[in-house]
Structure 1
Amino acid sequence: MKRGFFTIMAAQFFSSLADNALFVAAVQLLRTSHAPQWQQAALVPMFALFYVVLAPFVGAFADSMPKGRVMLISNFIKVGGCLFMLFGTHPLLAYAVVGLGAAAYSPAKYGILTELLPASQLVKANGWIEGLTIGSIILGVLLGGQLVGRHVSQLLLAIDIPGINTGINNPAEAAISVLIFVYLLAAWFNTHIPLTGVLMRPMPKRRLTLLPDFWTCNARLWRD
């Protein structure tokens, strides 16, 4: 495997790790605010919302610039979702913003593999990415649980920066503030993803022209 592949793996691992830990923190934030039970169940559909709504467009967006840059932008969108949570936006809406970042991230992380590696290594590369993603889901839930747990959250809330009122007052907010740095770590790895030399394809000015192409590709996929 080329060296750049391991950079992609690291970026994917930390971004996915933070996604899953953030879910636990968002659930805890809803519990802290005594939100109705259904809102906890609604977190996953809200995260997946933009996967569905933007499905015809995110692939073209990923092809319009170097995919490392797309992944970098996506991680900063996720950071924005975390900041929305910290500054009082409803967790469902803020988590949807994180889902927007994830929706833009997905076609880039898979698409760059076809640019970086020969066809003979794609099955192996996808296996590594999928295995790493499963690991990040398990470890992310574990990390989120530890961050909102009594022991770690007390240590985080005890951190005092002189002259600065962070406004972080509960375990969920403390966990989210830590996860921002995990996303930034993933973004740092994104900056080290090598350019593949593949020509970019600008997005069409009329975005809706992507819809017929999306329909054709889906029809071909389901006939295969």
Structure 2
Amino acid sequence: MSESVRTNTSIWSKGMLSVIVAQFLSAFGDNALLFATLALLKAQFYPDWSQPVLQMVFVGAYILFAPFVGQIADSFAKGRVMMVANGLKLAGAAGICLGVNPFVGYTLVGIGAAAYSPAKYGILGELTTGDKLVKANGLMEASTIAAILLGSVAGGVLADWHVIAALVACALAYAGAVAANLFIPKLVAARPGQSWRLSAMT
């Protein structure tokens, strides 16, 4: 990552665009991976009940780690948190490609998604303010919606053609998100050095 900055930067700056690109690729991978992994379960003759369970393990991991990740995002540079979170998603998707149990790999992706969420929104307020922040949030939401739609379609189409190819495409999307995170400016942590405490949640 580049040197530490904190500025009212343009929404078309390299740092801001890196955040948007990373978010698009990460959300694309999340939605494509769901369809690809569901297709894998079907191809490997898992029972019918395994498909809703797969979605439950993702949501369960997200809910379980949600109380912790906000403090983690504030304790470190948010761009670094985003990169680590996308790295977890990449590890989960790559693991499924390499034969790791799909439920284990998808749980890892869920943990990455939980860690990613507060950092991706928090970093916008550190990169820009005022009217530009409103525009940045709008751009973030638009890119997320586009990624959800395109990821869902691409995941389903690729999985119908070749399941492993679909899984590899998801891993590549996460790898691209990690690469985009490298271009996000290294900002000062909001509350550096703070560890998680139960009292902070009450």
TM range (shorter): 0.7 to 0.9
In structure 2, the residue matched to 1:154 is none
CA distance in 1, matches of 2:99, 2:90: 15
1:58–1:104 contact (8 Å) kept in structure 2: yes
What does 1:74-153 align with in structure 2 at a 5 Å threshold? 74-150=85-161
Residue 149 of structure 1 aligns to a residue whose secondary structure is helix
In structure 2, the residue matched to 1:212 is 199
Identity of aligned residues (%): 40
1:21–1:179 contact (8 Å) kept in structure 2: yes
CA shift at 1:182, angstroms? 1.4
Aligned residues: 191
Q: Which protein, 1 or 2, shows the higher relative CO under an 8 Å CA cutoff with sep ≥ 6?
A: 2
In structure 2, the residue matched to 1:189 is 180
CA distance in 2, matches of 1:41, 1:197: 41
Deviates more, 1:33-42 or 1:132-141: 33-42
TM-score normalised over the length of structure 2: 0.87
Structure number with larger C-alpha Rg? 1
In structure 2, the residue matched to 1:176 is 167
In structure 2, the residue matched to 1:28 is 39
CA distance in 1, matches of 2:67, 2:176: 29
CA shift at 1:117, angstroms? 1.0
* Structure 2 runs not aligned, ≥5 long: 1-9
Q: Where in structure 1 do 4 or more consecutive aligned residues deviate above 6 Å? A: none
Residue 46 of structure 2 aligns to a residue whose secondary structure is coil
In structure 2, the residue matched to 1:19 is 30
TM-score normalised over the length of structure 1: 0.79
CA shift at 1:89, angstroms? 2.6
* Structure 1 runs not aligned, ≥5 long: 151-170, 216-224
CA shift at 1:69, angstroms? 1.1
Q: Name the Cα RMSD after superposition.
A: 1.7
CA shift at 1:200, angstroms? 4.5
CA shift at 1:122, angstroms? 2.8
